[in-house]
Amino acid sequence: MSSHLDLEEQEQLDELKHFWKQYGNAITWVLIAVMGSYVGWNGYQYWQRQQATKASALFDEVERTAASGDVAKLERSWGDMKERFPQTTYAAQSALLAAKVFQQNEKMEAAQSALKWASENAADEASAQLARIRLANLQAQQKAYDEALKTLSKPFTPAFAGLAADVQGDIGVAQNKPAEAVKAYSDAWTQLADNAEYRRLVAAKLNALGFDPTLAKGATK
């Protein structure tokens, strides 16, 4: 009985040797690839966490310099953020904050540059779209109406479409194009249904142009 079992075990061992001889190299390389991918993924996750931690610390510096009103220092800290951590959400937040301070200090070129960067490079779409709206608004204030309309030409998600249409309406008024302004403001009023306070502002702009959106066909009050 023992010799019978030994024979079976030997046959199984021979089969295993044959199988490993035939497929062993392929299995080994698959295992190496899987383990390499696992190690690489963990390494990438660790690197991302490290980047986020460092970017967070630098964002604190951006906030402090913005609050202090030191524009020169803010330009440096914002520049560091853009150079070192461009793929983080902190970079886009820094751009929006820096642009606001630059505009308050009449540094319009720097403000436009920061907003343009965020509109093109923000890690999240919401920040990119908000930057585009602010950039277009700033361009309109500088009377660069064609540039502003070009900035707004790319479609917006529903969350930002109403805000973009409102800026388009402002541009129509500035260009003395009341029909275009009414159309844009009407779109904004419709799309801002969930923002009662902003919607009242748009309605006031429409009223100033002799149009009452609440009386329009199919309007939702």
What is the spatial distance between Cα 195 and Cα 73, in angstroms, rounded to a whole number? 37
Would you identify the CATH topology of the domain 155-221?
Methane Monooxygenase Hydroxylase; Chain G, domain 1 (1.20.58)
Domain 2-154 identical in fold to domain 155-221:
no
For every residue of 7-28, DSSP letters joined together read HHHHHHHHHHHHHHHHHHHHHH
State residue 54's pLDDT score: 81
Q: Which has the closest alpha carbon to 123: 165, 93, 153?
A: 93
CATH code of 2-154, in short, is 1.25.40.10
CA distances (Å), 126 to each of 52, 71, 106, in order? 19, 26, 26
Count of positions (residues) in the chain: 221
Tokens of 75: 């330009």
User: Domain residue spans in the chain?
Assistant: 2-154, 155-221
State residue 139's pLDDT score: 96
Calculate Rg over the CA atoms of the chain. Answer: 30
Q: What are phi and psi of 196, to 5 degrees?
A: -60, -40
What is the spatial distance between Cα 139 and Cα 171, in angstroms, rounded to a whole number? 10
- pLDDT digit of tens for each residue in the chain (221 aa)? 445 546 666 666 666 666 667 766 777 676 666 666 655 545 545 555 666 688 888 889 989 999 998 999 999 999 999 999 998 899 999 999 999 999 999 999 999 999 999 999 998 999 999 999 999 999 999 999 999 999 999 999 999 999 999 999 999 999 999 999 999 999 999 999 989 999 999 999 999 999 988 886 445 55
Model pTM score: 0.75
